[in-house]
Amino acid sequence: MEILSKMALPVFLLAALCLSGCTEEKAKALRLAAESFKIEADTACSMGADSIKAAVSLPPRTRLEISRNLAEAKQFGANELEIIYSDPSIVDAGIAPALSALNKACEAHRQLAAIYTDLPRGYLLATDDVKKAQKHVVNVTLRFAKLAQVFDSLPNVGRDNIARIKIIEARAKAMAVTDEKVRAPLLDAVAEEVLENQTRETLKRTQVLAQFAKATSYGEQLTQMSINYGQLSVADILESLQELSSLYGNVTSRIGVGQNAIERIQQVEARIKNDPRLSPLLEVDVIQ
Amino acid sequence: MAVQDNDAEMLRIMGNTITDLQIQYRASSLDDQAILITPLKEMLQDYGQYLARLLKTGTITTDAELTEMKAIQNSISKKATRQELLIAFAKIVALIASA
C-alpha cells in the first residue's frame, strides 16, 4: 500500500499539471502556428531570393547567338568556350553576398519553429521553456517585419532583367530596319511587350511583398499565441489560424494585401513595439 | 531602420547600369567579351555587396540568440522523453491500482 501511495505521486503530479491550462492539443496548436509562420516566411524568403536573381539575370545565349559568336571570334579556344559557359555563374557569383545575407536573416524563424517540434510530447514539463521562447518569438517576428520593409524599399523587386534586355535588343533590331513600313509594326510589337512586362513586373512585386506581409502576420499571430498561451483555448488558437488563412486565401485578398503590404507590416511592428507585455522583451537592435 | 531613398536610388542606377553593360556584352564578339567580362563581374559584385549590406540591417538574429533557441529546443526535447516515461509509469501505477 505504501509503495502504491509513493507511485501515485506522479499520477497526482500529472493531474495537477493538466489543470494548469497546458494540454497536448494546445501544444499541437502552438506548434502548428510556429510551423505556419516558418512555411510562410520560407516562401517569402524564397520569393525574395528569386526576385534578387531575376533583377540581374542574363538571357541564355541562343544557338543563333552562339553561331554568331563562333563566326566572329578571331580565335576560339578553351578561354572563349569558357566565356560562353560562364554567363549564369557571373550573375550567381555577383549576387552571392546578397543571397547569403538573406539566408542568414531567414535562419531564425526556422530555428524558432524547431523549438516547438517536441512540445506536444513534453507540454507538461516544458512550460518554463515555452515562457523562455516568448522573447525569441517577439524578436524574430520583428526582425522579419524589418526584412519585409527592406524588400518593400528595394526598387528592383519584381524587375525582370531578361525581359528588359530582350525589349531593348528588340527595339535596337527594329531600329536597324530602314524600311519604315516594316519597322513600324516591329516597334509596335516592342511597345506591346513594354506594357505587358510592366504589368508582369508590378504583379510580381505585389506578390513578393504580399507574401512578406502574410508571413509577418503569421509571426505576429505566433507572438500573441505565445504570450497568451495560458489563457487561450485550442479553439481560440485554431480560429485565429483559420482567420489568417481566410484573409490570405483568395487571390483578390492577396492582391489587396500586396498593395497595402508596407502598411500592414508597419502596423505589426507598431503593435509589437507598443504592447507593454512585448516591448520589454525586445532586443536593442530591433527597437532601433 | 528601413532602406534610405538614396540607397534605393543607388540600386536603381546600379541595376540599369548592369542591364546596359549586359546588352553591350551580349552584342560584342567573344574577343571583346573577354575584356568586358571583368567590369561586368565587378559591377555585379558591387551590386550584390550593396544589397547584402541593406539586407543585413536589423534583420539578422545573433549567433548567441540562435544558440539560446537551440538550447530551448533541446530542453523541450529532453522533457518530452521524460514526460513519455512519466506517463508510461503513471499508466502502470493506474493498472496496478485497478487490479
CB of A11 within 8 Å of any CB in chain B? yes
Task: Give the three-class secondary structure for A207.
Answer: helix
Question: Residue B78: phi, psi to the nearest 5?
Answer: -65, -40
**Sequence-separated (6 or more) residues with CB below 8 Å from residue A192:** none
Same domain for B78 and B67: yes
By CB atoms closer than 10 A (0-12, 13-18, 19+), residue A284 is exposed
CB of A159 within 8 Å of any CB in chain B? yes
Same domain for B8 and B49: yes
Domain residues for the domain of B94 are: 62-99
Per-residue pLDDT tens over the stretch B53-72? 999 988 889 899 999 999 99
Domain spans in chain A, listed from the N-terminal domain onward: 21-56+103-158+193-287, 59-94
Verify whether the Cβ–Cβ distance B83 to A121 is below 8 Å.
yes
CB-nearest partner of A96 from B12, B48, B94: B48
Per-residue pLDDT tens over the stretch A16-30? 444 445 588 888 888
Verify whether the Cβ–Cβ distance B29 to A69 is below 8 Å.
yes
What are the DSSP calls for A8-24, one per residue? Answer: HHHHHHHHHHHTTT--H
Same domain for B67 and B21: no
Same domain for B53 and B71: no
Same domain for B47 and B10: yes
Same domain for B67 and B51: no
d(CA A217, CA A223): 10
Among A276, A260, A278, A149, which residue's Cα sits nearest to residue A220? A278
Same domain for B55 and B76: no
H helices, E strands: number in chain A: 14, 0
Per residue of chain A (288 residues), give pLDDT as tens: 454 454 455 444 444 444 445 588 888 888 999 999 999 999 999 999 999 999 999 999 999 999 999 999 999 999 999 999 998 899 999 999 999 999 999 999 999 999 999 888 888 887 888 888 999 999 999 999 999 999 999 999 999 999 999 999 999 999 999 999 999 999 999 999 999 999 999 999 999 999 999 999 999 999 999 998 888 787 877 787 777 777 776 555 565 666 688 888 999 999 999 999 999 999 888 877
Distance from CA of B99 to the nearest CA of A (A): 12
Q: Which three cell numbers stand for residue A254?
A: 492577396
Same domain for B67 and B56: no
Same domain for B7 and B50: yes
Per-residue pLDDT tens over the stretch A56-85? 999 999 999 999 999 999 999 999 999 999
Give pTM, 2 decimals: 0.86
Total of domains in chain B: 2
Q: Are A237 and A225 in contact, with CB atoms under 8 Å apart? A: yes
Same domain for B1 and B44: yes
Helices (H), A55-159: 63-72, 78-85, 87-105, 107-115, 119-122, 127-153
